[in-house]
Structure 1
Amino acid sequence: MSEALRILRMVEEHWEQLLNKIEQTDNEWEREALVTRGLINLLSPLYCHSESNYYRDAALLPWIEQGVECLLNDQLDSGCISLVNCNIDSPPDTAFQVHGTAVALHVLERSGFPELSNVIGGIKLFLERAKPCLLTGGIHTPNHRWVMCGALANMYEIFGDEAFKQRAFQFLDEGLDITDYGEWTERSNAVYNSALAIHLIDVADVFEHMPSYEAVRRNLLMMQYMFHPDNHIVTEYSGRQDLGQRATMNDWYYTSLHLMASKDRNPVLIAMAALAEETAQVGSNALMYWMLYPEKMTLPEGQIEPMSENYTVLLGEGHRVRVPVDVPYGNQIRRHPYGAPLVRHRRGKLSVTVMSGQPELLYIQFGNSRMVGYKLGLGWFGIANVSFPSIEQVGDSRYRMDIELEGCYFDYLPPEKVQGLNGSFVDMPNLERTKTHVSKLQAAVEFELLDNGLNIMLISDNVPGIYFQHVFQFDPMGKIDGDGIRPTDIPGIQQLAKGYAVYEYEGDCIEIGPGEKKHRDVVMRNEKPNPDVIRLTINSVTPLRQTLSIRCYEARQ
């Protein structure tokens, strides 16, 4: 069976399942939630593909027409649509819609079937009405710019109006926000990487904008290091809604990888495209690209080398990002800063991510078992958990993160600074207060990466008596055991007072230790424990030169 035919059968099955749900519901609101503008993209390839079980099926046409009716009804007077639970009267969400609608339009027009004239007319009416939305509309997020540019390229291709190209280059001239190693601002491996890939390929194709091709290429090549052993995508450092989510590649990844692998004939991209054929959640978008561009979607012939499962890479080396340092000021720092360095380490079943710029410093997966986060808590002016600004390689397999934290108090304000404020502290220029009793705490963490785990070395010895807490967070699907584990008065939180603890899920084990209990705090001040994980802590006190061992292995049968 050809790849396109395989996807066709999947799309047919999707429609049959959806139709069954529609027919089974008696609730009008639930039916409206199922009958949406999404029917256009789902059913257009089924109606037009010559090998489809629904090829020119008259019963399908009213459903497509309902999809067009929903599309037009969803459009506001501005020409925009809304993401109804978030973005109202939204140019970026209209741009997302334009991309998919334009692809469906090309499929429908290429068929030449006269009975589709009303459907094609309705889609063109939507696009005509969307012109002012895209020509004047703004954005919220960095990725919105390139989605808008992709939609403007689609509109330029359909209508030929130079205004669309001029508008696109108003955004493109800002420069593409991608690092040298291929990461976008939002660091969203499971969602927005693929969204930008598919839209920027349109920009590159239609406007002959070679930097767009290079950005897509660079990001997709970075993604070779972003898969865990079960082919789920690395999401533990995302700056968007896919943070910590379990996700495989999607339709956009599938399509973008095939287009770029065919174009570049790069062995890594070819291997990733082959992996997408095995694992990606594909549907009508990929099917329509196969129908429209079969030559561009076909992978080069020859032996496909599997993707490497044995590597250690430091991405973003030398870059430093802002993290909370002057603790009492309560600085508002972006949670996942752009370009924060990270290390990816794979040894077959073992997958490790070391992360700067965020409180979650470490992720470990061994086969099916997952330590979803390691945080370092401090009893230091209410900081809760420490984030480190960078990562430095200090040996063949050793990586170091360090920071100097400042704590202090604040003096009085002179009378002229508080005059007329009636003692209202919140209205005072408090950042102008002079510091007193300034203290500096130095802390460093080193990770030694091994074939079967890693060692964590914690160093903080310039200020005695400071509480530290190692916080290990595990997937709740597994279980944790060890003679040195002690319960706490907070559900879901246990402390490792001595010895070693073993987390196990489906026969795959992560062992941690040795434990100790040098103070009694269950949670560091101002930390909000995640209730959805198994949480294990080790309590330590400075001065510290402490080594913890993490080892991964299969359970003995």
Structure 2
Amino acid sequence: MEPIIDKLIKLNDEWTEAGLQKQVTDPSSKYAGGVMDESTGIPRANHLGTPAVMAAWAASLVNPASRYYHHAGLLHALEQASDFMLRRQHADGTISLGSTNFNSPPDTAFVVGGVTQIYRLLERAEWPDALPAMANIKEFLTRTIPALLTGGCHTPNHRWVITAALAQLYEIFAQPELLHRAEEWLAEGIDITEDGEWTERSNGIYNAVSDISLYHTARAFGRPELLEYVRRNLRMMAYLIHPDGEVVTDYSGRQDLGQTFDLSNYFLVCRLMAVHDADPLFAAMADYAASFISRYKEGVNNHPMVGVLLFPSNLENVERDQLPQRYVKWLNFGHPMEEHLNRVQQVGHHMQIQHSSMHLAFGAPVVRIRELDDSVTMMAKAPSFFSLRHGKARLLGVKLATSFSPGVVSFDKLSADSSGVYTFHSVLEKGYNGPIPKELLAELAPDTKMSPWYLLPHHRRPFTHAQQFAITAEITQEQHAWRIRVHADEREDVFAQLTFIFGIEGQLTGSGIVPISEGRCFFQEGTLHYSAGQDAIEISSGAFEHRLPELREVPYPGGCQYAHVNLLSPFDHTFTIRLL
């Protein structure tokens, strides 16, 4: 037996026991049978709640290697949990996420994507004692079908989650309507670049969601061509891993932005694809991802133990490649992002979409550079344009903010030349809105005594006095150092602030550092020194050309240290980051 299987069995037994301790056993409670959520104390029917615990329980019950194999008490707990799911299911067949998204088809699809696997796992076991729980689970799934045949979504990945749910329901119920609805979603086309980046650019969460969803869609519907999109993303992800196993989240378009994630949620899809393709890189990624699985944190739709049991395979027969540790990787430099953005106005949605985002940064260029324990990311269309890991010393980001268009500059363009200079460029534009033409106002029949601002057709105002402000950042790699030059055009007196963002775990020192508040300081002059463990970064030199402690519309999330360099346009300032 593979070592990872032994590890998963042990962990799954631990998850099983932990879930039992959190189950509501009071029969008078409306939450009876549910498993309490750690953060709220309220049992939920969502994919991270009670169904995820049910997956661990089912895997333990049918696995002869588990200490809970055919355990009567655990089977009773599973039956009670399945009762809870039926009671928490709404009349329209949906469940609610709990934190938001009530009567939600996509959140129901997340649950269905895993509960179908629980049902098939129990069915395959041919264990008569499990029939009552199976009946409840099948009833739950049956009730979801109308919602998934008619329901919509919010985000890009929701389409593939719904499609995967339809595909796995089709395996059980064989209703042609399920296939037809899935084909309606698939007809929209797959939202991934040639280099493997999904719309949401979410390396920490939603890449893996889309990957595992399309894997099951391809498998259940016999659509192997869909696996090519999974391959693209996994191959890209091999270059988006820091030396300590943390994945790059510096430019995410979702809630994992700047948060810490490892590769563990890619374990199952890497394993399945490694076996399907006999691919040594995917096999190595599966091994590496497995090394980070230490506690239960996956949703029911991506449950590692259920996946291993339901789709058994021998990964030991697949050769292993070394994961890349020395590279310069350019991503999305060939993607026609500008062409696509130029067509936005033709679509007719006027940049409005309910409960979601346009994700206009999709396909923006990214450069990843890795040299063993040194890891660098450069990215356009992101709050930070440069980040660096030097061993344990973490420069989490470098961002530039201005008062011209108040807020952080998200550089539009990133280019690279043959001499190794990486250039970021943006032209900020801001103007003013003239009076609405009288003939358009006549359509409104306004009250001459009062004109509500929100009833006016602001999009018809002429644009006047357009102003521009051009900013460039140039980055050059030197021996054991990086040089960052930021410069602006000749416009005078635009307040700017360049910020170095460091991990909270390190020590920040320097004679030119002046505290502003907890975790924030000015870097006014001289050299700044940041160290963590035996690793250190030295940055020179600071500046203090104005006194503002912060600029408008610039957030400073907790858990970081911020060193601000105040610049006043026109500026041309060079920083040197030395790796010590």
In the alignment, which residue of structure 2 is the partner of 1:327?
none
Residue 373 of structure 1 deviates from its aligned partner by: 2.2
| Aligned pairs for 1:18-57 within 5 A | 18-20=19-21, 32-34=34-36, 36-57=50-71
User: Once the two structures are aligned, what percentage of the paired residues are identical?
Assistant: 33
Residue 169 of structure 1 deviates from its aligned partner by: 0.3
Residue 503 of structure 1 deviates from its aligned partner by: 1.5
Residue 547 of structure 1 deviates from its aligned partner by: 1.5
User: Which of 465, 482, 488 is equivalent to 1:454?
Assistant: 482
Letter in 1 for 2:288: L
Comparing 30-39 with 158-167, greater Cα deviation is found at 30-39
Letter in 2 for 1:354: M
Distance 1:540 1:264, change over 3 A: same
User: Which of 341, 361, 366 is equivalent to 1:342?
Assistant: 366
In the alignment, which residue of structure 2 is the partner of 1:551?
578
Residue 224 of structure 1 deviates from its aligned partner by: 0.4
SS in 1 for 2:232: helix
Work out the CA distance in 2 between the residues paired with 1:487 and 1:73. 55
Distance 1:31 1:505, change over 3 A: farther
User: Which of 255, 277, 293 is equivalent to 1:264?
Assistant: 277
Provide, for residues 461-509 of structure 1, a one-character-per-residue CA deviation record: whole Å limited to 9, x for no partner.
Answer: 3324433321112222222100111233x44331112111012222322
Work out the CA distance in 2 between the residues paired with 1:107 and 1:405. 56
User: Which of 434, 440, 457 is equivalent to 2:468?
Assistant: 440
In the alignment, which residue of structure 1 is the partner of 2:391?
367
Letter in 2 for 1:300: N
| Aligned pairs for 1:53-202 within 5 A | 53-202=67-216
Work out the CA distance in 1 between the residues paired with 2:403 and 2:269. 47
SS in 2 for 1:279: coil
In the alignment, which residue of structure 1 is the partner of 2:321?
305
Work out the CA distance in 2 between the residues paired with 1:78 and 1:413. 47
Residue 392 of structure 1 deviates from its aligned partner by: 0.7
Work out the CA distance in 2 between the residues paired with 1:140 and 1:548. 42
Distance 1:22 1:124, change over 3 A: closer
What TM-score do you get using the length of structure 1 for normalisation?
0.90
Residue 170 of structure 1 deviates from its aligned partner by: 0.6
Provide, for residues 386-406 of structure 1, a one-character-per-residue CA deviation record: whole Å limited to 9, x for no partner.
Answer: 111121112343211112223
Comparing 28-37 with 521-530, greater Cα deviation is found at 28-37
Distance 1:393 1:433, change over 3 A: same
| Aligned pairs for 1:9-24 within 5 A | 9-20=10-21
User: Which of 521, 526, 531 is equivalent to 1:499?
Assistant: 526
Work out the CA distance in 2 between the residues paired with 1:370 and 1:306. 25
Letter in 1 for 2:322: P
Distance 1:52 1:435, change over 3 A: closer
Alignment RMSD:
2.8
Contact 1:39/1:64, CA 8 A, preserved across alignment: no
Letter in 2 for 1:316: N
Provide, for residues 47-79 of structure 1, a one-character-per-residue CA deviation record: whole Å limited to 9, x for no partner.
Answer: 111122122122221111112112211211111
Provide, for residues 281-300 of structure 1, a one-character-per-residue CA deviation record: whole Å limited to 9, x for no partner.
Answer: 576822222223222x5243
Distance 1:427 1:44, change over 3 A: closer
User: Which of 257, 273, 276 is equivalent to 2:286?
Assistant: 273
Work out the CA distance in 2 between the residues paired with 1:161 and 1:410. 56
In the alignment, which residue of structure 2 is the partner of 1:408?
431
Letter in 2 for 1:257: C
1:473 paired to 2:497: no
| Aligned pairs for 1:201-220 within 5 A | 201-220=215-234
Contact 1:417/1:428, CA 8 A, preserved across alignment: no
Work out the CA distance in 1 between the residues paired with 2:433 and 2:92. 52
Comparing 66-75 with 423-432, greater Cα deviation is found at 423-432
In the alignment, which residue of structure 2 is the partner of 1:394?
417
Work out the CA distance in 2 between the residues paired with 1:359 and 1:232. 19
Count of residue correspondences: 541
Work out the CA distance in 1 between the residues paired with 2:7 and 2:466. 66
SS in 2 for 1:232: coil
Structure 1: runs of 5+ lacking an equivalent: 324-330
Distance 1:164 1:409, change over 3 A: closer
Contact 1:335/1:358, CA 8 A, preserved across alignment: no
Letter in 2 for 1:339: G
Contact 2:33/2:83, CA 8 A, preserved across alignment: no
Contact 2:19/2:53, CA 8 A, preserved across alignment: no
SS in 2 for 1:447: strand
Contact 2:33/2:77, CA 8 A, preserved across alignment: no
SS in 2 for 1:59: helix
Work out the CA distance in 1 between the residues paired with 2:568 and 2:82. 65
1:292 paired to 2:292: no
Residue 409 of structure 1 deviates from its aligned partner by: 4.0
SS in 2 for 1:171: helix
Work out the CA distance in 2 between the residues paired with 1:416 and 1:301. 72
Contact 1:7/1:282, CA 8 A, preserved across alignment: no
Work out the CA distance in 2 between the residues paired with 1:247 and 1:358. 18
Provide, for residues 170-197 of structure 1, a one-character-per-residue CA deviation record: whole Å limited to 9, x for no partner.
Answer: 1111111111111111111121111122
Contact 2:264/2:290, CA 8 A, preserved across alignment: no
Work out the CA distance in 1 between the residues paired with 2:90 and 2:25. 31
Contact 1:479/1:505, CA 8 A, preserved across alignment: yes
Letter in 1 for 2:15: H
Contact 1:37/1:70, CA 8 A, preserved across alignment: no
Comparing 155-164 with 440-449, greater Cα deviation is found at 440-449
Residue 413 of structure 1 deviates from its aligned partner by: 5.2
Work out the CA distance in 2 between the residues paired with 1:43 and 1:173. 37
Letter in 1 for 2:548: D
Letter in 1 for 2:391: G
Distance 1:494 1:485, change over 3 A: same
Comparing 363-372 with 148-157, greater Cα deviation is found at 363-372
Contact 1:376/1:470, CA 8 A, preserved across alignment: yes
In the alignment, which residue of structure 2 is the partner of 1:326?
none
Structure 2: runs of 5+ lacking an equivalent: 37-42, 44-49, 343-350
Comparing 440-449 with 164-173, greater Cα deviation is found at 440-449
What TM-score do you get using the length of structure 2 for normalisation?
0.86
Letter in 1 for 2:328: T
Residue 412 of structure 1 deviates from its aligned partner by: 5.0
